[in-house]
Structure 1
Amino acid sequence: MSGIEYDGRAVCALDVVDLERSLRWYEQALGFEVVHRLDAWGWAELSTPLPGISIGIGQVEDPKTDGGVVVTFGVRDIDKAREHLESHGTRFDGETRLVADEVRLATFYDPDGNTFMLSERVVQA
């Protein structure tokens, strides 16, 4: 036992320059929905399709986007997901890669340069 009683939720908090622009991108490109918003603080929390996992975005003048944790979303069809994101102007870091014949990975960025990754497990025959 860790001594910490978790409640089943996790919020990944990210810095952004323009809250409105970022909200549009997260809603349209990733399909997230705003669940809480504090305009006076320049903050919004968005639900993801994953139960208990949400993304918080906070507006700051100089976002820190280099380093840190990379949120990785498991998807069923990485090519389809990538095509959708690219249709919303999403920038990717190179091509989708196959790693150890086990997983395909594609790194992408939100409008402020926060790093995310798509992951698709490769089915072994």
Structure 2
Amino acid sequence: MAIDYDGGLTCSMGVASLDASIAWYQDVLGFTLLYRVDEIAWCELSTAVARVNVGLGQREAAGGAGGSTLTFGVVNIDAAKAELDRHNVRQDGPIRDIPGMVRLLTFYDPDDNALMFYQDLSEAHG
């Protein structure tokens, strides 16, 4: 029996403070709060990617090394980096260029969860 996916994706990450994290994801990345359930310290935010949401769960030990890295495609990675800089977001070095393929920038939320932007340079997106 094959799995019948519905096309949606929710990416879940642990955070230390739901209030602070909601504000950061809205203010810095422009995500929109869809709902919040304080009884279980959980919320979901919509992204600019259709049917891709970010779920945040408050935990005692949040963020840090390991796990998945959410990687969001952007039209202009230099402009996206400037917005991160404007919000003093910690980044893992400069934009990395892989000529003819992609430009990459790794950055971190306040709980040290790694996130990434990519700008597609392939001819299919040129």
Q: TM-score, normalised by structure 2?
A: 0.92
Question: Within the alignment, does 1:119 sit opposite 2:118 as a pair?
Answer: yes
Separation in structure 2 between the aligned mates of residue 23 and residue 64 of structure 1, nearest angstrom: 15
Please give the residue correspondences for 1:1-125 in structure 2 after superposition, counting only pairs within 5 Å: 3-122=2-121
Alpha-carbon shift at residue 35 of structure 1 (Å): 0.6
Structure 1, gaps ≥5 residues long: none
Q: Is the 8 A contact 1:44 1:56 kept in 2?
A: yes
Alpha-carbon shift at residue 36 of structure 1 (Å): 1.5
Q: Is the 8 A contact 2:15 2:111 kept in 1?
A: yes
- What is the SS of the residue equivalent to 2:78? helix
The runs of 4+ residues in structure 1 deviating greater than 3 Å are none
Structure 2, gaps ≥5 residues long: none
Alpha-carbon shift at residue 108 of structure 1 (Å): 0.4
Separation in structure 2 between the aligned mates of residue 86 and residue 40 of structure 1, nearest angstrom: 34
Alpha-carbon shift at residue 7 of structure 1 (Å): 1.2
Percent pairwise identity: 40
Cα RMSD between the aligned structures?
1.5
Q: Is the 8 A contact 2:100 2:122 kept in 1?
A: no
